């Protein structure tokens, strides 16, 4: 099965290929359009659907997209759906997050990464969501992954996503959980057979 993923993010595409690569050939929407859709939804679900529909209309092939965010308890859920727009670069995003959280020992640093995946093929449309709960630490650790990975320690682990490495992270991450649910939904709806 050929699926178009509505992202230009190479790290994200690599993660998706590691999980779905056996079942489907994954192409980036970049191969069809360099245009970025306007993500003006009020939730991960709304933004994922905007990107999936954009990828479909650019490629006319079955498409999916995810929208992910980091939701921090002490910041009332921020940065949330604005996680990728919190600052210009990963370094600046992490710096802003740590500055806003501060170093107060009693501050609630619990957080979760949420990932909603939306599918659209012109007829069928559905969404699934995965979450990974953990804690934001006070300084960066590790060098793999991207985004907020160096400051997020998932529950049950002593290492950040950036220290765990891709293989381990891809077993427990919000995107890995959502991709597994996505794969099951495609099978349940017989969409793998529809091409």
What are the residue numbers of the active site? 67
Kind and range of the H or E run holding 41: none
What are the backbone dihedrals phi and psi of residue 122, each rounded to the nearest 5 degrees, phi first? 95, -25
Tokens of 100: 């806003």
Instruction: Kindly state the DSSP code that residue 155 receives in the 8-state scheme.
Output: T
**Rg of the Cα atoms in the chain:** 17
User: What is the rounded distance in angstroms from the CA atom of residue 170 to the CA atom of residue 182?
Assistant: 15
């Amino acid at each position: 099965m050929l699926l178009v993923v509505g992202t230009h993010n190479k790290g994200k595409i690599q993660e998706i290929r590691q999980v779905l690569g056996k079942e489907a050939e994954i192409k980036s929407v970049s191969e069809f359009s360099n245009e970025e859709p306007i993500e003006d939804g009020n939730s991960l679900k709304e933004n994922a659907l905007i990107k999936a529909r954009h990828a479909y209309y650019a490629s006319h092939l079955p498409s999916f997209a995810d929208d992910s965010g980091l939701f921090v308890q002490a910041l009332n859920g921020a940065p949330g759906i604005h996680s990728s727009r919190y600052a210009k670069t990963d370094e600046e995003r992490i710096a802003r997050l740590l500055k806003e959280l501060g170093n107060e020992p009693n501050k609630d640093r619990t957080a979760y990464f949420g990932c909603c995946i939306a599918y659209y093929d012109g007829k069928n449309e559905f969404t699934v969501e995965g979450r990974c709960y953990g804690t934001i630490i006070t300084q960066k650790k590790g060098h793999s992954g991207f985004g907020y990975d160096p400051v997020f320690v998932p529950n049950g682990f002593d290492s950040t996503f950036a220290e765990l490495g891709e293989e381990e992270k891809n077993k427990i991450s919000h995107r890995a959980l959502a991709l597994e649910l996505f794969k099951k939904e495609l099978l349940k709806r017989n969409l793998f057979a529809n091409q």
